[in-house]
Chain A
Amino acid sequence: MKLYLRYLEILFKSQLQYRASFILMTIGQFFVPLVMFASIYFLFEKFGQIEGWSFFEVALCFSIVHMSFAISVCFMRGFDSFSKLVVNAGFDRLLVRPRNTIVQVLGSNFEFTRLGRLIQSTMVLIWALLNISIEWNAFKVATLIFMLIGGIFIFSGIFILGASLCFFTVQGLELINIFTDGSREISQYPLSIYKDWVKNFFTFIVPLGIINYIPLMYLLGRGPYNDILSMLTPLIGIVFIIPCLYVWKFGVSKYLSAGS
């Protein structure tokens, strides 16, 4: 952990070297999701509601998914850009250092500029919460936090899976964006508006449904869901990362025996 902070320090210093680019990127990252959010806003302006969901309820869902995504993309940037590390053989360098590969890949990159994205989605969250009447209690506060944590872990898991793919091929990596960006785009709306196969995919394959549907219903006081269970469902996201780590480990062993 201490080592990771040292990595962050050096990355932060490096990124600050390019001041103009740093500021512009941060501002840009603020506006990218803002445009997406605006499109949701105009959609609701026209239709009023979608399948019984009001604008602010969807905004709540949107902000939670985007906050999780922003945080995980900050931390997981090393995995997100891992193909570069394989192509330029930087990964060889990591292997001759006496540390775990995961810490080192995490420490190889950090997108401080993605904080712009986080600020934007936090603002949407606050706006949404101010406009929805939720009877707050300790369970519900915990649920909200768990949803964020679960989301961060699921997105992180997807990033690790994508990076593991680089051990087998360095071609066709765009495919993984279907899972990262695609999952984010789809899960910014409550899952109930989609067809069954989409729902099933995002419940059983990439379990983003568990962070944005059941706990969301519970937060809004809808549906017959049990308090404790609803509160804990988002934590399944943490479990999702375990198989991803195993795939990573398998990938590393493959790399070792295949060479580059």
Chain B
Amino acid sequence: MIKVEGLSKTFKVARRSSGFGEAVRSFFSPKFSEVHALRDVSFSIDEGEIVGYIGPNGAGKSTTIKVMSGILVPDKGECSIMGYVPWRDRVKYVKNIGVVFGQRSQLWADVPVMDSFELLRDIYKVQPANYKKSLDLLTETLNLGEILTTPTRQLSLGQRMRCEIAASLIHDPKILFLDEPTIGLDAMSKIAVRNFIKMINKEKKVTVILTTHDMNDIETLANRIIMIGKGQILYDGNLNNLREKFVTHKTVTVDYNENTSPLELDSASLLSWSKDRATYVVDIKKRGVSDIISELSAKLELTDVAVDSEPIEEIIIKLYKEHQV
């Protein structure tokens, strides 16, 4: 469905050091330096996938989204989405996609949300019957009922984001690009947005590509992640594979009936110890967690066992470090 091959994009950025003299000098002869936003980026995405597109700030996430939504033309490389070249067949192509820029609104600020939706209906030439159907579905699932008659500028961020997402789905797009859809939202709104994304992916087979800095988004939504750093793809694949590759340690916490001295184990270091609780960090390359637990249960009278793996954030940080981004 989406095929991206060898995308490269270079921007010219004006450079200057600080200071008044420097500001004046660069006014007359600006110095430019080149920033490689994308270098040879390739991937393909199938229909119905949810892909998390992650990377640090300035890695090239937004540039990729802009190329894929027809806003930017790359210097090199090919991109074919549903048989269209986004920047060449812009008008025909963009009918099939919805784009949400989390930090910028697409709604008209001073009029009720409903008015914005109706204008979008006309922009996308949506048939009245289809419009009613999508609107009913969106109103119900995103719980928009009362806020449709409120002017956009009076909405809270969470309410606004729900409306933004609804607005980008009125024309029933096949692909949805979400650029940081949960930025700044409270926990409740985040969960609502995630559930909705899951729902439309499942019910309507909408392919979703989302960028985010919130690893919970990725963990609950995306089966597949593409990680980009300094314009290059660092990882493309399953979240579990990433874990397998990078999770080297797990923590095992055990509660037990009183024991007087700390128990040392092979291939596991004791992180903390008290009379009735101990925490071990297990090197899983050397020894399985179940093995550790069985040894513990043989020696102690266990009442509770908990196993935690590293949070995904730390894995990502490791990956960044490995690639020095």
Contact = CB atoms under 8 A, between A and B. Distances in A.
Are A and B subunits of one complex?
Answer: yes
Interface in B106-147: 106, 108-111, 115-116, 118-119, 122-124
A93 B106 CA distance: 7
Contacts, number: 72
Interface residues of B, number: 34
A92 B66 CA distance: 8
Contacts of B110: 13-15, 17-18
B95 interface: yes
B99 interface: yes
Nearest to A3: B122
Contacts of A6: 118-119, 122
Contacts of B119: 6-7, 10
Contacts of A2: 122
Interface of A is mostly: helix
B9 interface: yes
Q: Which of A6, A14, A89, A96 has the most CB of B within 10 A?
A: A96
A46 interface: no
A96 B99 contact: yes
Residue among B37, B108, B118, B151 facing the most chain A CB atoms (10 A cut-off)? B108
A259 B151 contact: no
A93 to B, nearest CB: 5
User: Interface residues of A toward B: which range?
Assistant: 20 to 34
A114 B70 CA distance: 35
Contacts of B151: 17
Given A2-B122, A14-B108, A98-B95, A93 B101 contact: yes
Given A13-B115, A88-B104, A97 B71 contact: no
Specify the main secondary structure of chain B where it touches its partner: mixed
Interface of B: 9, 11, 37, 63, 66, 69-73, 75, 87, 90-92, 94-95, 97, 99, 101, 104, 106, 108-111, 115-116, 118-119, 122-124, 151
A63 B95 CA distance: 45
Contacts of A258: 11
Contact of A98 (B101, B104, B124): B124
Contacts of B92: 98
Contact of A97 (B63, B75, B94): B94
